[in-house]
Amino acid sequence: MTAADFAARNHLKRVGARPALPSYLKQAWARRDFVFELAKSRIQASNNSNRLGMLWVVIKPTLNALMYGAIFGILQGANKPEDFPVFVVIGVFLFEFFSTSMTQGAKSITGNAALVQSLSFPRISLPVSTVVQNLLQLAPMLGVMFVYCLVLGTAPQWSWLLVLPLVALFTLFNTGVALICARLTVHLRDITQILPLVTRVLFYTSGVLFSVEKIFTAYPALVAVYDFHPLYQVLSIARGCIMEGHSFPAAYWLFFSIWSVVLFVAGVVFFWVAEERYGRGN
């Protein structure tokens, strides 16, 4: 009798073996309190290391909005979109949620080597906790963003409430991105050096700081491509919900919902397949 036959007859399982996906997700859900507490502890740790603490969550995107808004406002001239300050604030604040989820999620396994190697738990908890951390930080950012919009002359309206389901979809989207990047980084550590460049490229090409229709008015085919750009879709929806006179195709809700669900499911499966490798890869 082989060792494998003996183990099967006595219902023994290999240490660290990857469970079936339903069981894996059930185990991960059972540790939701751990995910939430880990996210909160990271926020507290980062706040304790800075004199201004939680204020940096708002100060950083505010400074980015001021700096990039001033530079791109001058460069674009008459091609600036209407209500440009509000346009930039919404773009910068929401893109911050995406960029931090992706970059921090990518390091969630490799940056917690001791935890991954010493304890048995679904590793998916780590990248998910980074997205939860950024979601918790997004809450005060959204509050300040709405205040900025009011100060800059945007009247409140009921459509502002649609930002909540949009953030829920955006969280699914970012979780999928974080899971994919977390696994890729385990296999190829150099990805952490590339991601800052990727985020810069996406920042400058996703319509964060400019109106796609005005800048690419001579290239209608390129404008049409943006209809399928997920980050452009989420920014367009947010601006359409908050800014008066800023419209977007209603189909963007459907498109971004599909993007979010598909990327989330793909990220979960892609990450789960390599579950057994994470402890060894660190």
As a three-state string, the secondary structure of 66-100 is HHHHHHHHHHHHHHCCCCHHHHHHHHHHHHHHHHH
Q: Model's pTM, two decimal places? A: 0.89
- 10-residue averages of pLDDT along the chain (282 residues): 49 62 92 91 76 71 84 81 90 94 92 81 92 92 90 89 96 97 90 90 92 87 91 95 89 96 96 83 45
Residue 62: how many CA atoms within 13 Å on its side-chain side?
15
Look-up of token digits 């009247």: 155
| The pLDDT value given to residue 277 | 83
> Structural domain of residue 211, as residue ranges?
50-281
Q: Is residue 26 part of a domain?
A: no
Tokens of residue 105, six digits: 């999620």
Can you tell me the distance from the alpha carbon of 57 to that of 270, in angstroms, rounded to the nearest whole number? 31
Q: Is residue 178 part of a domain?
A: yes
Closest CA to 137 of 242, 235, 60: 60
| The pLDDT value given to residue 45 | 79
Q: What's the domain count of the chain?
A: 1
| The pLDDT value given to residue 82 | 85
| The pLDDT value given to residue 281 | 47
Q: Is residue 44 part of a domain?
A: no
| The pLDDT value given to residue 16 | 56
Q: Which residues of 222-231 are buried (b: 16+ CB within 10 A; e: fewer)?
A: eeeebeebbb
Can you tell me the distance from the alpha carbon of 144 to that of 90, in angstroms, rounded to the nearest whole number? 11
| The pLDDT value given to residue 254 | 96
| The pLDDT value given to residue 9 | 55
Can you tell me the distance from the alpha carbon of 146 to that of 133, in angstroms, rounded to the nearest whole number? 21
Contacts with 236 (C-beta within 8 Å, 6 or more apart), sequence order: 207, 248, 252
Q: Is residue 118 part of a domain?
A: yes
Closest CA to 263 of 192, 179, 193: 179
Q: Is residue 78 part of a domain?
A: yes
Q: Is residue 256 part of a domain?
A: yes
Q: Is residue 33 part of a domain?
A: no
| The pLDDT value given to residue 280 | 63
Q: Is residue 9 part of a domain?
A: no
